[in-house]
Amino acid sequence: MNLERIPNEEKLGLSRRYYLGGFAFLPFLWLVNVLWFFREAFLKPTYTEQPQIKSYVKKSALGLIVWVAVLTTWITIFQHFRAQWGEVGDYLSFTIPLGTA
Amino acid sequence: MNTSDSEEDSYNERSALVQCESPTIPSYNQDHDMSLPQETDTKRRRPVSSGLDEPGPVERERASTPDGEEEELTLKYGAKHVIMLFIPVTLCMVVVVATIKSVSFYTEKTSQRLIYTPFEEDPNSVGQRLLNSILNTMVMISVIVVMTIILVVLYKYRCYKFIHGWLILSSLMLLFWFSFMYLGEVFKTYNVAMDYPTLVMIIWNFGVVGMICIHWKGPLRLQQAYLIVISALMALIFIKYLPEWSAWVILGAISIYDLIAVLCPKGPLRMLVETAQERNEPIFPALIYSSAMVWMVGMADSSNPDSADERQRNEGGALAQEGVESEDDAAQGGRRRYSAEEDLEEDRGVKLGLGDFIFYSVLVGKAATTGGDWNTTLACFVAILIGLCLTLLLLAIFKKALPALPISITFGLVFYFSTDNLN
């Protein structure tokens, strides 16, 4: 759908829903919110709803950064210590890399 | 593994190529050959459009523009549509071929079969094998025909909730279960350790955002990307679970079915398309790939919200629009504004059913699996694109929904069998 042709209130509603939806463990949704509404929020001439859209975009970006940090930390820890954790490591693993002969 | 019935049916509905349409507003009133057969729509639009028409001199000026210019516009927009469809079709095929070549899972033959192809192919006896593949094809095609008819009946009797539920279930399965399988196989191929928490996060995000983009509202590019991905996933499942010879016979049979279903007056797909047209509703977004969005006739928007709304409602499902239509709409604002709007306007584009994506990719994927080398794969790829080009040309000429499978699949099959047997 094209953001150009929907009225501003709808844009605001859409941005708000994307923002609220992201709280359901959906950082991807926040990413989409930031990328999609970035131009609307920051590069367009001001209109009434713009400050609110801006705030949603900023909050989504913040949430996204937090999630990225958490996930990166967890992935690093897991990849590094997986072998050492023994049974727990295997339990947590979806795929276990095969060794080479 | 057995796929659900919804998969079978859904992809079938998707085998049609329609042009995005908005009913003609004949600014060039004398050009009867340009007007579309949707009279009712045209009549509804005329009062709206006349409000936008510039009075007097500009109209006369437009009335005197020659046919040649319109033809030029049709060709120009026709060419643009071709490119707009080449890219997603190519992307889908590239994803499928890349997966086939790298992840061995999808080329390993298992004894598991879909319930739609119950007859086992015995590699020892040619006659028996051929017979079984024909029987498999008959079973599959009859399942498809039945499902299509059920869908059309449901649509005619306005059981929208049922259809939407069905489509949602089917996309849920594609977006979650098949992508989970796919991701698992990719990780195993590249020997990457993956933990459950991260995996759950990835699949959850991918699936939910996919559902939102396809069934609700989302950025167009993302929606297109998701549709390409689910077509590729579906094609991979077919490549894995359809027996060798059955797959080729099924491809041939389904092109014939597509031809019948879309062109015959009582064909189910044609009835679906026409009913959607009559009711001025978009065909379900989960079944159709749309290449562009309507951009409202620039300045006219603010002055006439009614026309904007109408066009908005019709953009999704409106069919068989010629490229010149969008020019007409733009021209309504007056020719002098045309050049300014030209860079802003996106024309309505073309829609291609997802079933077409799936079967094109199945053909190229199977060529990559079983073909001797890259020549075969490339030959099939080129053949399909040529077929698509021809189909779009026909679409520009006939301006109504056309089956996109027959020409491409025929060329593809011919090229596959001839290239494969060259040495």
Our CA dihedral for B321, B326, B278, B47, rounded to 10 degrees, sits at -150
**Tokens of residue A8, six digits:** 């501003």
At residue B266, the pLDDT reads: 87
Q: A75: which chain B residues are within 8 Å (Cβ-Cβ)? A: 198
Domain spans in chain A, listed from the N-terminal domain onward: 3-92
Helices (H), A1-101: 8-21, 27-38, 50-81, 87-92
Q: Which of B175, B195, B215 to mutate to test the interface with A (most CBs of A within 10 A)?
A: B195
pLDDT at A35 over 80: yes
Average pLDDT over residues B163-168: 91
Q: Which of B194, B202, B307 to mutate to test the interface with A (most CBs of A within 10 A)?
A: B194
CA distance A75 to B194: 9
pLDDT band per the 50, 70, 90 thresholds, residue B71: confident
pLDDT at B2 over 60: no
pLDDT at B326 over 60: no
pLDDT at B138 over 90: yes
Q: A14: which chain B residues are within 8 Å (Cβ-Cβ)? A: 217
> Residue A96 and residue B193: Cβ atoms within 8 Å?
yes
pLDDT band per the 50, 70, 90 thresholds, residue B239: very high
Average pLDDT over residues A17-41: 94
Specify the range with the lowest mean pLDDT, choosing from A11-20, B157-166, B200-209, B232-241: B157-166
Entry pTM: 0.78
User: Which candidate, B164, B159, B158, places its Cα nearest to that of B10?
Assistant: B164
Average pLDDT over residues A2-9: 86
**Tokens of residue B37, six digits:** 């057969």
Looking at the partner chain, which of A5, A24, A28 has a beta carbon nearest the beta carbon of B295?
A: A5
pLDDT band per the 50, 70, 90 thresholds, residue B15: low
Cα atoms in the 13 Å half-sphere on the side-chain side of B43: 4
Order of all β-strands in the sheet with B288-290 = B17-19, B350-353, B288-290
| Secondary structure letter of residue A94 according to DSSP | E
pLDDT band per the 50, 70, 90 thresholds, residue A89: confident
> Would you say residue B299 lies in a domain?
no
CA distance B151 to B226: 23
Q: A29: which chain B residues are within 8 Å (Cβ-Cβ)? A: 205, 208-209, 212
pLDDT at B24 over 60: no
For residue A26, give how far its alpha carbon lies from the nearest alpha carbon of chain B (Å): 5
pLDDT band per the 50, 70, 90 thresholds, residue B372: low
Percent of residues, chain B, with pLDDT higher than 70? 69
Q: What is the DSSP string of B170-181?
A: HHHIIIIIIHHH
Q: Is B93 exposed, middle or buried (0-12, 13-18, 19+ CB in 10 A)?
A: buried
pLDDT band per the 50, 70, 90 thresholds, residue B65: low
Q: Which is more confidently placed, A89 or A37? A: A37
pLDDT band per the 50, 70, 90 thresholds, residue B131: very high
Summarize pLDDT for B79-111 with one digit per residue, the tens: 788 888 999 999 999 999 999 999 989 888 877
At residue B343, the pLDDT reads: 43
Catalytic machinery residues of B: 258, 356
Specify the range with the lowest mean pLDDT, choosing from A50-59, A91-100, B146-155: A91-100
Q: Identify residue B320 by its one-letter amino acid code.
A: A
Residue identified by tokens 């000429």 is: B397
Give the bridge partners for B212, in sequence order. Answer: none
> Would you say residue B198 lies in a domain?
yes
Q: Which is more confidently placed, A52 or B115? A: A52
Q: What's the domain range around B234?
A: 83-290+350-422
At residue B16, the pLDDT reads: 67
> Residue B197 and residue A28: Cβ atoms within 8 Å?
no
Helices (H), B264-353: 268-278, 300-303, 305-317, 323-332, 335-342
Average pLDDT over residues B18-42: 40
At residue B134, the pLDDT reads: 93
List all residues 6 or more positions away from A82 whose beta carbon is below 8 Å from its beta carbon. A89, A92, A93, B193, B195
The domain tally of chain B equals: 1
> Residue A32 and residue B218: Cβ atoms within 8 Å?
yes
CA distance B132 to A55: 63
CA distance B63 to B57: 10
> Residue A25 and residue B204: Cβ atoms within 8 Å?
yes
pLDDT band per the 50, 70, 90 thresholds, residue B70: confident
pLDDT at B240 over 50: yes
- Pick the residue from chain A with its C-alpha nearest to B214: A1
pLDDT band per the 50, 70, 90 thresholds, residue B19: low
Average pLDDT over residues B13-27: 52
Q: What number of C-beta contacts closer than 8 Å exist between A and B?
A: 79
pLDDT band per the 50, 70, 90 thresholds, residue B59: very low
CA distance A58 to A37: 10
Q: Which is more confidently placed, B311 or A14? A: A14
Give the bridge partners for B341, in sequence order. Answer: none
